[in-house]
Amino acid sequence: MQTVQSERLPILENLPIAIASDHGGFTLKSLILEELMRLGRTSVDLGVFSSERADYPDQAKLLAEAILSGDSKMGVLICGTGIGMSITANRYKGIRAALCHDEYTARMSRQHNDANVLVLGGRVLGVETALGILNVWLSTGFEGGRHIERLNKIERLL
């Protein structure tokens, strides 16, 4: 059984960030990639590479596998609302995907839940809001402490 450890890699390390979207998140994904580049963060674009129809479960699977294999430590998923990506990603043991709609939920998803995947809705968030969420999520670390046992309880459910 995998357990969450109190010693976590600092969030500010330049670990590769995987990113994937379906057609509903393609435009926002392009802007997120530009922001990651501006921040000097290494990213791995897992697609999609156009706004043509694509199924979110396929893209969520690619990203979850990249994280679980160790190719990436964190990821960003984007679909129209973020709901489908969130549901799919959280089916994978070891993935803690958080659908965030504001900077507060982004901060709490990292501090309390040690989320390793940020999920955004490309059709429901403004660009400035989405970039603000991304920046807060990337710059916030896991608090550990009482939250470790809670995460371990989640792991024991699977």
Rounded CA gap, 140 and 11, in Å?
7
What's the confidence (pLDDT) of residue 153? 85
| Catalytic choice (79, 100, 101, 147) | 79
Q: Tell me what the mean pLDDT of segment 49-69 comes to.
A: 97
Sheet strands (E) in 1-158: 17-21, 43-45, 74-79, 97-99, 117-121
Q: What is the pLDDT of residues 89-113, one digit of tens each?
A: 999 999 999 999 999 999 999 999 9
Report whether pLDDT(6) > 80.
no
> Is this prediction's pTM over 0.85?
yes
Cα separation values, 140 from 22, 59, 86, 133, Å: 26, 25, 20, 11
Report whether pLDDT(5) > 80.
no
Rounded CA gap, 115 and 119, in Å?
10
Q: Residue 76, preceding bond cis, omega within 30 degrees?
A: no
79 is catalytic: yes
What's the confidence (pLDDT) of residue 7? 38
**Structure tokens belonging to residue 55:** 């199924």
Rounded CA gap, 77 and 91, in Å?
14
The CATH architecture of the domain made up of 17-157 is 3-Layer(aba) Sandwich (3.40)
What's the confidence (pLDDT) of residue 53? 96
Q: Would you list the domain boundaries of the chain?
A: 17-157
User: What's 122's DSSP letter?
Assistant: T
| Catalytic choice (100, 101, 112, 147) | 112
- pLDDT band at 10; cut points 50, 70, 90: very low
Cα separation values, 149 from 5, 8, 33, 143, 154, Å: 9, 14, 34, 12, 9
Rounded CA gap, 116 and 1, in Å?
18
Q: Are 155 and 2 in contact, with CB atoms under 8 Å apart? A: yes
